[in-house]
């Protein structure tokens, strides 16, 4: 039985290599962002353990890929059952290492289970592309081999499963590497894999931001499924070039939302606030720039300010908490820089400061009358600080929304759905929502435009992404 109190996590965390739970060559301290204190020490792999993990995945590949797809789907279902059986413990551990309120952590685990169960229903049938008296042309999807799954610290479990579920169903094997500040839930997930899957099919290693280059350049890794920042994504792409690996890069975003004059400012402000501040703004597809029509600008700013002032910020384990801390100290320092920028280039409506207590807490912050060239508008803040910009002309708003190297998500808010759809079609992002934001389902393909990524996750397309399409062209 694990003892998990607020201060420590009493559990013997191990790496998973070739079906065995093993100690790391070293350790690293995992900090609870709500206290700034060490929760536990996690095992840390060295280069030799990385090589062992890749070798194990390579050895497991022929048998795993030869197993009928429906059998692999059944094992994926068992993995989902195993996670469901420990859902409460996973959610609590996620809050402790990541910081998000327990309700949001529970949501993440539920969504993770749902994603596994969804992928377990998919198939990769052989498609007949054409057939006549002289020939038959078919397409077959084959697994690629060893997948390196590299994940960030904002949704450590869900984003891991976005990779693990399709990779396993398609017949690939895997080496997973979480972010060094949130390794615990991934290590616990490794324990479930150890119980349910054949040895070597899933391996879990932990590093301190030092093993990524070796993993992405490794000659026995066939493809890299990466979620993280655009800066790191570019390094991954360069590193993978040596062996021309396949890549799925889900990278940073600076999602704009455009609010038209015809909405109820109060109602829309509340939905936008949630989509900007969930997980303390540490969501790739959070609303990060808000463009509001001049006629309702003051009303929207006022309502957002009210919601920010009313938000209960605290330790995610406290039932009353609505917003947790920033996940790690480096990000906390970065957000402080954005607050300084907001003070200089805009007007603070609510918040604007760090919260003076232990841990990495920032007041939810709304900034108005800020210039388009402010850092808070140009860059990805990845924190609870929302700039609100004014516009008068919709063409100008679309141009400003598109004026970014990022193109992950966006949204349009209007009571005229036809007009909103027309505007959505002019926004250059992987996903554009109308009258909502932040809505990802496992069955809907998800991809970034511009420097927000390459390749697709989720849906049938996300499954096929982790395969090699082979055309078999037969003369009759
Ligand atoms: P990060 O890029 O710093 O780290 C992501 C992962 O890459 C970590 O596991 C890290 O250890 C690893 N890494 C670091 N250096 C590496 C290297 N040279 N080679 C290979 N791997 C390396 O990102 P982060 O700070 O953990 O996460 C925040 C960022 O992730 C934000 O920009 C956010 O928008 C983005 N994100 C994108 C999506 C999406 O789906 N598009 C989802 C969540 C987060």
Give the closest residue to 164 by CA, choosing from 202, 198, 200, 191: 202
What's the 418 CA to ligand 1 centre distance in angstroms?
37
| pLDDT > 80? residue 413 | yes
Query: Which CB contacts under 8 angstroms, 24+ apart, belong to 369-375?
Result: 370/342, 370/345, 370/346, 371/345, 371/346, 372/400, 372/403, 374/341, 374/342, 374/345, 374/346, 375/337, 375/338, 375/341, 375/345
Q: What is the model's pTM?
A: 0.97
Atom number, ligand 1, closest to the C-alpha of residue 232: 2
Two tokens, residue 73: 């789907």
Q: What percent of the chain has pLDDT over 90?
A: 98
- The answer, yes or no, to whether any atom of ligand 1 lies below 6 A from the CB of 251, is yes
| pLDDT > 60? residue 11 | yes
- The answer, yes or no, to whether any atom of ligand 1 lies below 6 A from the CB of 286, is no
Neighbouring C-beta atoms of residue 130, cutoff 10 Å: 9
| pLDDT > 50? residue 462 | yes
Atom number, ligand 1, closest to the C-alpha of residue 239: 19
Report the nearest-CA residue for atom 17 of ligand 1.
Answer: 212
Question: Which of 160, 232, 333 is the best mutation target for the ligand 1 pocket, counting ligand atoms within 8 Å of the beta carbon and taking the most?
Answer: 232
Report the nearest-CA residue for atom 30 of ligand 1.
Answer: 228
Question: Which of 162, 216, 228 is the best mutation target for the ligand 1 pocket, counting ligand atoms within 8 Å of the beta carbon and taking the most?
Answer: 228
Mean pLDDT in residue range 285-308:
98
- Per-residue pLDDT tens over the stretch 299-339: 999 999 999 999 999 999 999 999 999 999 999 999 999 99
| pLDDT > 80? residue 6 | no
Catalytic residues: 250, 284
- The answer, yes or no, to whether any atom of ligand 1 lies below 6 A from the CB of 284, is yes
Atom number, ligand 1, closest to the C-alpha of residue 284: 34
Give strand ranges (E) for 58-210.
Answer: 127-131, 135-143, 146-150, 173-177, 202-204
pLDDT at position 8, please? Answer: 83
| pLDDT > 50? residue 347 | yes
- The answer, yes or no, to whether any atom of ligand 1 lies below 6 A from the CB of 224, is no
Neighbouring C-beta atoms of residue 436, cutoff 10 Å: 11
- The answer, yes or no, to whether any atom of ligand 1 lies below 6 A from the CB of 464, is no
- Mean pLDDT of all residues belonging to the chain: 97
- The answer, yes or no, to whether any atom of ligand 1 lies below 6 A from the CB of 380, is yes
Q: Indicate the DSSP class of residue 476.
A: -
- Per-residue pLDDT tens over the stretch 224-271: 999 999 999 999 999 999 999 999 999 999 999 999 999 999 999 999
What's the 26 CA to ligand 1 centre distance in angstroms?
22
- The answer, yes or no, to whether any atom of ligand 1 lies below 6 A from the CB of 154, is yes
- The answer, yes or no, to whether any atom of ligand 1 lies below 6 A from the CB of 250, is yes
Report the nearest-CA residue for atom 42 of ligand 1.
Answer: 284
pLDDT at position 155, please? Answer: 98
- 9 neighbors 39 (Cβ within 8 angstroms): yes
């Amino acid at each position: 039985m694990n003892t998990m109190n607020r201060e420590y996590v009493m559990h013997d965390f191990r790496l998973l290599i070739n079906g065995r739970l093993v100690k790391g060559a070293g350790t690293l301290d995992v900090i609870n962002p709500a206290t700034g204190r060490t929760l536990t020490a996690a095992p840390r792999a060295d280069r030799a353990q990385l090589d062992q993990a890749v070798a194990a995945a390579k050895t497991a590949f022929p048998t795993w890929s030869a197993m009928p797809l429906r059998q692999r789907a059944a094992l994926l279902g068992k993995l989902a059952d195993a996670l469901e059986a420990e859902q409460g413990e996973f959610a609590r551990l996620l809050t402790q290492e990541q910081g998000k309120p327990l309700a949001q952590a529970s949501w993440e685990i539920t969504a993770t289970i749902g994603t596994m169960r969804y992928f377990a229903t998919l198939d990769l049938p052989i498609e007949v592309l054409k057939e006549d008296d002289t020939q038959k042309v078919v397409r077959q999807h084959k697994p690629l081999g060893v997948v390196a799954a590299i994940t960030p610290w904002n949704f450590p479990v869900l984003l891991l499963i976005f990779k693990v579920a399709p990779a396993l169903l398609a017949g690939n094997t895997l080496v997973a590497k979480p972010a060094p500040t949130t390794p615990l839930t991934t290590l616990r997930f490794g324990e479930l894999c150890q119980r349910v899957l054949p040895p070597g099919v899933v391996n879990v290693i932990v590093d301190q931001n030092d093993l990524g280059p070796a993993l992405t350049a490794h000659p026995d890794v066939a493809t890299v499924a990466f979620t993280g920042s655009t800066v790191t994504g570019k390094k991954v792409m360069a590193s993978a070039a040596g062996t021309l690996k396949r890549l799925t890069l889900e990278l940073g975003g600076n999602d704009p939302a455009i609010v038209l004059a015809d909405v109820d400012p109060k109602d829309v402000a509340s939905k936008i606030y949630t989509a900007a501040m969930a997980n303390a703004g540490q969501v790739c597809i959070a609303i990060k720039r808000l463009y509001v029509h001049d006629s309702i600008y003051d009303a929207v700013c006022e309502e957002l300010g009210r919601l920010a002032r009313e938000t209960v910020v605290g330790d995610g384990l406290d039932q009353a908490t609505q917003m947790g801390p920033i996940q790690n100290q480096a990000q906390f320092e970065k957000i402080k820089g954005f607050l300084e920028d907001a003070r200089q280039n805009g007007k603070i409506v609510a918040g604007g400061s760090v919260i003076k207590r232990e841990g990495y807490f920032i007041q939810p912050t709304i900034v108005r009358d800020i210039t388009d060239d402010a850092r808070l508008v140009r860059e990805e803040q990845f924190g609870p600080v929302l700039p609100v910009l004014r516009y008068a002309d919709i063409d100008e708003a679309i141009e400003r929304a598109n004026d970014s190297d990022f193109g992950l998500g966006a949204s349009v808010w209007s009571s005229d759905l036809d007009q909103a759809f027309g505007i959505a079609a002019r926004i250059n992002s992987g996903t554009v929502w109308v009258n909502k934001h932040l809505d990802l389902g496992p069955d809907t393909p998800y991809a970034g435009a511009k420097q927000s990524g390459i390749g697709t996750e989720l849906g049938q397309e996300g499954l096929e992404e982790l395969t090699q399409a082979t055309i078999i062209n037969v003369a009759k």
